[in-house]
Amino acid sequence: MQSPPSLPGTLQLHTAAGRACLRIAGDWTLAHYATLRDAVARMRPQLGADSTVELEQLGALDTAGVGLLVELLGAQRIAEVAQWAPQLPPERLALLRTVATALARPDVAQPRAGYEFGDLLAHIGRTMQNLWQQQRELLGFIGLTLQTLLTNLARPRRWRLTALVAHIEQTGLNAIPIVALLTFLVGAVVAFLGATVLADFGASIYTVTLVGFAFLREFGVLLAAILLAGRSASAFAAQIGSMKANEEIDAIRTLGLSPVELLVLPRVLAMLITLPILTFIGMLSGILGGGVVCVLALDISPTLFMTILQRDIDVSHFLVGIGKAPVFAFLIAVIGCLEGFKVSGSAQSVGEHTTSSVVQSIFMVILIDAIAALFFMEMGW
């Protein structure tokens, strides 16, 4: 036997007990969508808010038909169908409520125009809260890194010497040309400025002391650290972030291995080795750049230049500068690795956290250097 033909749904508006009553009958399915849509458009202006609805003669029903009923009666009324049409089968009531809830469009408050003072304070508050959260995460990650480092010091078999040597080459050997060139040029600029200012006082000879003092205490380590923050911190964040996006970090944990031990420690140790070396190279290059200017522009012989450095510059200035290098190296490496672990999985997230690693590293280097300068000045070192 063939199934009876599907009859399109109908809408009939009549009066019962002095009130308008809408009788919905027939099949409300996708096959009759065009016909039903026209019927709904004609009936909607005639239907009042207090009209009753009868669903006893409702035939087949699918999501397309429910959508038209929601358009006719409203999402709120369809969502409450169990209250005014309890005779419907449970599965049909569930379908009506589900589609009505999905199609409901809550009123969204329009954003206020302009930028008020309260919004400014709220923005400042959110920024400070995010900054505090970043510092807490950084302190926690530093503690985890130190714990893993101390644990592995007593177990030489777990040292990853191959990865360590590879990172030393990437962060140190490949960075020597740019560090040497930049510090040489900055040393020449400092010597030019010093000679220009000191010449008015007849003290051009002190340009030698200025160059030596500046590069041994500050510029050598600061320029090398900033360059490595741009080169290595961004590379660490991008490398680990890409591994996080490709779920390689999860694979490492699944194998029972520690991502901190495999990925963080070789990078941290490589930076602890390379930044002091680059700092020493930066000091020599900066002093050499200043020496070239003194020889060419101030008629100071190389022998006199070296004699003044040896006589007036104490070795404590070199120790102050080189002593800050391991601290900067540790912070740069840890910040770069931490931002890599924060990547959520998209290419945009990798870019954002790579940028954040460079900004945070440079900020922390300059901040710690300023605090150290004030401390050493008060201590008379």
223-245 residue pLDDT tens = 999 999 998 999 999 999 888 88
User: What is the percentage of the chain residues whose pLDDT exceeds 90?
Assistant: 33
User: What is the model's pLDDT at position 113?
Assistant: 54
With CA atoms as reference, report the closest residue to 283 among 179, 153, 155, 160: 179
Work out the mean pLDDT of the chain and round it to a whole number.
86
The mean per-residue pLDDT over the stretch 16-27 comes to: 78
Give the pLDDT of residue 312.
85
The predicted pLDDT at position 154 comes to 83
Model pLDDT, residue 271: 94
**Average confidence (pLDDT) over 290-303:** 88
Q: Residue 272: pLDDT above 80?
A: yes
In the structure, what pLDDT confidence band is assigned to residue 281 with cuts at 50, 70 and 90?
very high
**12 pLDDT above the threshold of 90:** no
Structural domains of the chain ordered from first start:
10-103 (3.30.750), 137-379 (no CATH)
Question: What is the structure's pLDDT at 2?
Answer: 44
- The mean pLDDT of 353-367, rounded to a whole number, is 91
For the stretch 98-113, pLDDT in tens is: 888 887 765 445 555 5
> Which tens digits make up the pLDDT trace of 146-177?
998 998 888 888 888 898 999 999 888 899 99
Whether 1 has a pLDDT exceeding 50, the answer reads: no
Which of 52-61, 190-199, 224-233 is predicted most confidently?
A: 224-233
What is the predicted pLDDT for the residue at 283?
A: 94
What pLDDT shows up at residue 17? Answer: 65
Which of residues 177 and 40 earns the better pLDDT score? 177
The mean pLDDT value for 309-336 works out to 92
pLDDT at 205 over 60: yes
pLDDT of 59 above 80: yes
